[in-house]
Amino acid sequence: MTVTTHQDVGFETFARTYTTYLETRHLDEVRAEDFGRLDEQGLIYLDYTGSGLPGRAQLRAYHAAMNSRIWGNPHSANSPSRRSTAAVQHARRATLRFVNADPDEYSVIFTSNATGALRLVGEAFPFQPGGRLALLRDNHNSVLGIREYARTCGATVETIALRPDLRADPAAVLDVLDRSASKPSLFAYPAQSNFSGVQHPLDWISDAQARGWRVVLDAAAFVALSDLDLSKYKPDFVPLSYYKIFGWPTGLGCLIARNDALAQLRRPWFSGGTVIASSALGGWHASAAPPDNFEDGTPDFLGALGVSVGLDYLRQTLDRDTVRARVRCLTQFLLDEMAQLCHGDGTPVCALYGPGDTRGRGATIAFNLLDVDGGIIDERVAEDRAVQHGIALRAGCFCNPGVGETIFELEPADLIRVGANRAGLRTIDDYRRAIGLPTGGALRVSLGPVSNFADIVGFLRYLGSWRDYRATAEGLAGFPDRERC
């Protein structure tokens, strides 16, 4: 679809092409009732991959539950303790229902976030010489960090490259998985890229398992809008962060794990809550049964109460099929408009990264802005102007260096050279200059349950403000070095 102005797109024109959008008007009512603060504050929120937003009714339901009962530490037998224990167990069951997992096959282990869940897997997986860790280049740093445990234990680490469209070649994936390992091995990849929105094939799970691999499926970005069915796809380990799904609580995640995979893990330590008994003098401990032996200390029992409330809110209020229909329309429209937006001389304003349509992708779009000479506009300058336009987007590398290295076509030899000469490099900009990167990353917009057409029009007006812009060194004045990615 072509819109000539890219500034004031008429809704009627949009709706004639994206007729399904008209069937999602229910979400406009939800936005007005539960997310009215967006329009009251004049904010165009486009960072749903960074964090979901809690609804007003969701928070009211949580506060009502908090105020109507007394909640105590679950490690006791008094009534507040039993009530909290019941809330934690209810949240486990609700989480398993959310991903359609059989409680006889899967357990839910509460963690501080998805990163904590991944660390638990990394530190406890039985890596050893003869074992392997295979990582897609498109992985969050929290997944890449597992390689440090693997290397320390003598396992081989291999990274699978991406094509220019930021998907992995299925043949290359199978080539890695086909190489047999004599010891326990782990394959880790995201169901959806937090950088580009690319959704990687879930069939790789069974492909890997049939070849003797355990599988970590990072679903943190995926489940915000997409359904994960663990009765069909059966990864061994699935990390989640609840705030990515429904905005709150922000300090609680989980590891959903197959019980047979949990039995293979060996924790390097124990703590309060993870043991049946221990002896200070005798130097021994007896671990509790899963999931308790993986949950350090007192669980976030009040946060668990919020999990149940949040999942109820998703089911009762938002209707995920309707949400997906809406964001699919908005995402395709936005991709088309961004691809067509040009400077006066016909050169593009946006460099888009990843697929150009909504097939096999989520509602996340990564890009850089280009000036009239074709140079990348520093993402800090772009983000600063976005703030002035009342837009919340994301700028940087999104904790996903592998995709950044792919889009900028970096050579492994150059990265190895910089890694071997890190002395004196203190900031991410020091590394950027040493590598020769033109900028520190990219820009990312992501849509969510109550995104609407007006949000997209406002963002297109922002993009239009960059037409015929020429970047200068003076434009970076006042921006200090980026400290980190």
Token couple for 447 = 């849509």
Q: Is the dihedral of CA 225, 330, 459, 472 positive or negative?
A: positive
Residue 102 corresponds to which tokens in the numbers above? 């059989």
Q: Which residues of 402-438 are buried (b: 16+ CB within 10 A; e: fewer)?
A: bbbbbbbebeeeeeeebeeeeeeeeebbebbebbebe
Fold of the domain spanning 11-54+319-465: Aspartate Aminotransferase, domain 1 (3.90.1150)
Q: What is the pTM of this model?
A: 0.94
**CA 189 to mean position of chain CA atoms:** 12
Residue found under tokens 């033109």: 438
Q: In the Cβ-directed half-sphere of 47, how many Cα atoms lie within 13 Å?
A: 18
Q: How far apart are CA 58 and CA 300, in angstroms?
A: 18
Handedness of CA 416, 419, 421, 427 (dihedral sign): positive
Task: Tell me if residue 399 is catalytic.
Answer: yes
Beta strands 156-160 and 132-136: pairing type?
parallel
Q: Where in the chain is the domain with CATH 3.90.1150.10?
A: 11-54+319-465
Query: What residues are paired with 156 via a beta bridge?
Result: 132
In this structure, whether the domain defined by 73-316 belongs to CATH 3.30.465.10 is answered with no
SS3 281: coil
pLDDT for the residue 5: 41
What is d(CA 30, CA 57) in angstroms, rounded to the nearest whole number? 10
Residue with tokens 């663990």: 230
| Cβ atoms of residues 72 and 81 within 8 Å | yes
Question: Can you state the angle between helices 301-313 and 56-68, rounded to 10 degrees?
Answer: 140
Are the beta carbons of 131 and 184 closer than 8 angstroms? yes
Residues 246, 58 contacting (CB under 8 angstroms): yes
How many Å apart are CA 470 and CA 375, to the nearest integer? 9
pLDDT at position 8 is 60
CA 402 – CA 400 distance, rounded (Å): 6
Indicate the SS3 state at residue 353.
strand
> Count of residues for the chain?
485
Residues 6+ apart with CB under 8 A from 396: 379, 440, 441, 442, 482, 485
Q: Tens-of-pLDDT digits for all 485 residues of the chain?
A: 333 444 466 899 999 999 999 999 999 999 999 999 999 999 999 999 999 999 999 999 999 999 999 999 998 899 999 999 999 999 999 999 999 999 999 999 999 999 999 999 999 999 999 999 999 999 999 999 999 999 999 999 999 999 999 999 999 999 999 997 889 999 999 999 999 999 999 999 999 999 999 999 999 999 999 999 999 999 999 999 999 999 999 999 999 999 999 999 998 888 988 888 998 989 889 988 888 889 998 999 999 999 999 999 999 999 999 999 999 999 999 999 999 999 999 999 999 999 999 999 999 999 999 999 999 999 999 999 999 999 999 999 999 999 999 999 888 888 888 888 888 888 888 888 888 777 878 999 999 999 999 999 999 999 999 999 999 877 777 788 777 77
**What stretch(es) of the chain map to CATH 3.40.640.10?**
73-316
Among the listed residues 153, 342, 399, 485, the single catalytic one is: 399
For 220-230, the pLDDT digits (tens) are 999 999 999 99
Q: Cα 225 vs. chain centroid, distance in angstroms? A: 11
The 10s digit of each residue's pLDDT in 390-421 is 999 999 999 999 999 999 988 888 888 888 88
